[in-house]
Amino acid sequence: MKFSLNISDSLNSAAAEAIHRASNALLERQFPEGYWWADLRADTTLESDYILMELWLHPPANGVWNPPNRARIGRAVRAILDRQLEDGGFNVYLGGPSEVSASIKAYFALKVAGIPVSDPRMQRLCERILELGGLEAANSYVRINLSLFGLFPREACPSIPPEIVLLPFNFIYQMSSWTRAIVMALSIVHSANPQRAVPAGLTLEELFLPGAPMHPERDLKTFSWRNGFLLLDRFLKLWEGRGPRFIREYAIKKCAAWMIERFDGSDGLGAIYPSMQYAIMALDVLGYGPDHPLRLEAQSQFDRLMIDDERGFCMQPCFSPVWDTALAAFALAETEYPPIDALRRCADWLLSKEVRRKGDWSVKRPLAEPSGWAFEFNNEFYPDVDDTAMVLLGLEKFRGTDDVKQRACVRRTIDWLLAMQGKDGGWAAFDVDNNWNILSYVPFADHNAMLDPSCPDITGRVLEALVRCGLPENHPAIKRGAAFLLAAQEADGSWYGRWGVNYIYGTFLALRGLRAAGLSENEPSIQRALEFIRAYQNRDGGWGESCASYDENRFIPNPSTPSQTAWGILALLAGGDVRSESLYNGVEYLVRTQRGDGNWDEDYCTGTGFPRVFYLAYTEYRNTFPLLALATYRKATASLREDVSVGAL
């Protein structure tokens, strides 16, 4: 009867060895305090924005730009040029096509840094930008940034008035938390219309496409939210020149107070690159000099995002230590021989990072006791549901040195997660019921992240965390969450992944949530999801999905990656599949592609910042998710291996 269940001894042995190597490699990267922290990479837009920031901070003298960080700017230039595509443009994810706004940002940065327009690389880049629609096709934030230097007409930029802070119905809290932090700082800058200097003779006239419309077009015969907001934008431009000054001054003071309050307990405003950059610029136009403590701290926090060493030069969008730690620790805790001491140090560090103050989330949940975790080292106004659920999953598996403290923390966390459930039954990242869809038509909403609605991937993770921590399957919150997931399933059986690329990620988390909520593996929705996962497995046994899935609103295949292969395996296992050839081929792919040092290679962006706009390469995903998948596989097939062993006797 041996192997009657098609369980391969060699594959199971190889998986066990791979787990051992991956665990040891991961433990070597644990910091003494107990956390993990890996690089977080993105596209060239951040390096381009860094050069823009240097121009802002160190304007030209007598038309000549001679910044103090010239050598570093040179390294930023090399980092940008190293990723130029053959057609001359720049993309927003590996293997993707040239994207106009990323290309324009790169052109501006390279030209400011001294690369002459006669350089063949600049010529190809200019030609590609014109093919993509020219400067007129740039998104709102590129337009606004260039207008601050007199390189794009201000009247063709969307208005971002500081008076937004005065609007009723908690208007600013109807925008996503990241948009809110960006807009509050940028409105201060935009209202000042600073018109900073550029090197003598520098223009971008060659990027304007003759005949292309400078302003967004409005259909005068049709009423729509978009047309309404475009009319409002025209009114706001009149208001800027003719509105009462005392109202604007009062609004600017309110925005400044809001921004400065959120410096406290945070690694910068919102602890993310765009809002941190605009915060420095806002302090500047408000009159805070370079030596002012607030300005010094804001600059220091921004500079910490920089990597400039043997790894090369890049600007990180933010830090991810809590996320990296929770994923690494959970994966290690799922192995057959979890490292108890390392996990104890990890639990102590995570417990020290619990957020215990009310942040922006409390505007809609004023009675909820503060708890939760942020993504970064410090970001007390913005704990997020996804990190909190992931930490909770870990704390259910391992213990710190103070068990009483940990149990109290877990109770608070469960209550906070329950409070953060939306009316639709799902969970979002930072806010509750952040779904005013009309805001998607605001002229500056083209970064595709104006809202933070409930999403399947976070909802699935929260359901799993709550059930693992003791909530019964018939708890009303669990039943509502499961109903949200069932209603959100796509026609092909998949689920949309908001924070990971894309349908593989959403499907694996939705399946784990639904199974935790008590759905049988025989349910049609579960079986349809499994068929979706099996249908898109690559011939090499792995899974890969392109960021283009977001553009096409359907699965777009890509070469296999370790992290997405791990998600495919985890999806199959969550759906109850412990015997299929698809499962074994996926496990074999991970075993085969593991390096001798226990790690895996992965260059592709499998994390999502803003769909269709900004993607993330979590450099530890390639290791933590394969470890979790292999450990889960070993655990799920343990009973089968026992049955086979008994049969052999």
pLDDT lower than 50: segments of the chain = 1-5, 646, 648-649
Whether residue 267 lies in the annotated active site: no
Closest listed residue to residue 565, CA positions, set 619, 612, 609, 628: 628
Nearest to 485 by CA among 518, 452, 440: 518
Q: Which two tokens stand for residue 550?
A: 């977001």
Q: Which of 233, 324, 386, 452 is catalytic?
A: 386
Q: Token pair for residue 310?
A: 């043997």
At 558 the three-state DSSP class reads: strand
For residue 39, the tally of other CB atoms under 10 A from its CB is 15
Separation of alpha carbons 389 and 391, rounded Å: 5
Which residue reads 């979706």 in tokens?
532
DSSP assignment, residue 648? H
CA-atom Rg of the chain in angstroms: 25
Residue type (1 letter), 467:
V
- Distance set, CA 345 to CA 139, 374, 400, 608, 621 (Å): 45, 19, 7, 30, 21
Residue 213 vs residues 137, 138, 142: alpha-carbon distances, Å: 9, 12, 16
- Same topology, domains 9-41+318-648 and 45-315? Answer is yes
pLDDT at 3: 38
Secondary-structure class of domain 9-41+318-648 per CATH: mainly alpha
The DSSP result for 280-335, as a single string, is: HHHHHHTT--TTSHHHHHHHHHHHTTEEEETTEEEE-S---HHHHHHHHHHHHHTS
Q: CATH second-level architecture of 45-315?
A: Alpha/alpha barrel (1.50)
Does residue 112 contact residue 55 with C-beta atoms inside 8 Å? yes
Angle of helix 100-112 relative to helix 70-81, nearest 10 degrees, comes to 150
Sign (positive/negative) of CA torsion 75, 76, 79, 81? negative
pTM of the predicted model over 0.75: yes
Distance CA 607, CA 323 (A): 12
What token pair was written down for 107? 């052109």
- Cα(255)–Cα(244) distance, integer angstroms: 17
Q: Where is 150: in which H helix or E strand?
A: none
Tokens 């790894």 — which residue? 311
392 within 8 A of 410, measured Cβ to Cβ: yes
Token output for 496: 């949309």
For the chain, the structural domain boundaries read 9-41+318-648, 45-315
> How far, in Å, CA of 482 to CA of 49, rounded?
42
Q: Is the separation of the CB atoms in 384 and 452 below 8 Å?
A: no
